[in-house]
A and B are shown apart, each in its own frame.
Chain A
Amino acid sequence: MSVFLQPLQTVTVGSGGAVAAIFSNIPQNYTDLYVEYSARTTNTDTGSSIQVVAYQNNVGYPDSTASFTELNGTGTGSASINLTGQYLRVGYCDTANNTSNTFSNGSFYIPNYAGSNYKSVVADAVFEQNGTAAVQSLIAGLWRTTSGINNLNIQTGRTFAQYSTFALYGVLRQGI
């Protein structure tokens, strides 16, 4: 197998909730990074879902280096949007208004995260509920930074609920 997926760090949210999942001191010796998350928030002020965003290298909102283009389906329609200079969206997750025990399922991939080129990101994520509306999002993102990524901060602006999980992997690509 030419792709090596190495678990690096895991965040599991405890009973008190967490405002962010943070991966720090990310080793710089892999080729790519891959993140998988299963998340839900405790808030009720944003409807049934809330966006999940990622920041790099301790840059917070607004992140002038970030931009993304998204294609999404909502169960009844489809749309595409883009946004620049604020944050990099990596999906959506359920809120406390949503069906109990239901968590989102998402991932994003950052190739060449340690290199000196700008950092491209691709994300695919879904949030579910027992109803017609749910969002499936495919996102192409960019961080216009030439620094290696050694810190990732994943948040919603609200609080992640207990049992939310985030896993960071390092990927090694090898020649044939």
Chain B
Amino acid sequence: MSMFPIATKTLNSATSSIVFNNIPQTFTHLQIRAFGRGDVSFSSGLSFYVQLNGDATAANYNLHALFGEGSSAYSSSSLSTGTLSLQQVFADLGATTGIFGVGICDLLDYTNTNKYKTARFIGGHDNNGSGRASFGSGCWFSTAAINQVTISTDGNLVAGTTVQLYGITTA
């Protein structure tokens, strides 16, 4: 078995962020799996933000993404974002009650101090006939090993949101 659950957090009430501290440095890769919804309105859905080691320096992050919205595909990029993110993943306040979005973020070689950390995201949400499918990337321009991840969205994450952190080994 090479995929190990490190931590899971499920919200009982609205919270601005979920933080995993003191991440073990003994795995090769990290994977974050999120089931989320936010408490603000944005018709195309809300972002899945992943900030590393508490670093909020805007210039240290960027994002690129590919989206499908039911009738067409389009692409976007943003520089100096202050966090990794994939947009349009989590369900927003206007989504039907009980609907959440799903996002997965892979961070390879998270302890390698010779590499900037490239994130690969996939996710989306469907609101019974409308929604978004998103696939994207981001880079944290730091060679530091990752020891903390902070998950958030636009506004607060609502009760029922669950985030799981896994460690993956290669031996």
> Which positions in A face B, CB cutoff 8 Å?
1, 4-7, 10, 36-38, 71-78, 99, 101-107, 124-136, 138, 162-163, 165, 167, 169
CB 8 Å contact bits of B82-119 with A (1 = contact, 0 = none): 00000000000000000000000011110010111011
Minimum CB–CB distance for A168 against chain B, Å: 9
Contacts of A71 in B (CB 8 A): 66, 73
Chain A residue at minimal CB-CB distance from B107: A105
Chain A, residue nearest B74 (CB): A78
Interface residues of B (CB under 8 A from A): 1-3, 28-29, 62, 64-67, 73-77, 79, 106-109, 112, 114-116, 118-120, 122, 135-139, 141, 143, 168-171
List of 6 A-B pairs having minimum Cβ-Cβ separation, nearest first: A73-B66, A126-B137, A73-B75, A75-B77, A128-B139, A134-B64
A75 touches B118 (CB 8 A): no
Which A residues are CB-close (under 8 A) to B64?
Answer: 73, 75, 126, 128, 134-136
Which residues on the A side are within 8 Å of B74 (C-beta)? 73, 77-78
Minimum CB–CB distance for A70 against chain B, Å: 11
Q: Are B120 and A125 in contact (CB under 8 A)?
A: yes
The interface centre, meaning the residue of B79, B108, B168 with most chain A CB atoms within 10 A of its CB, is: B108
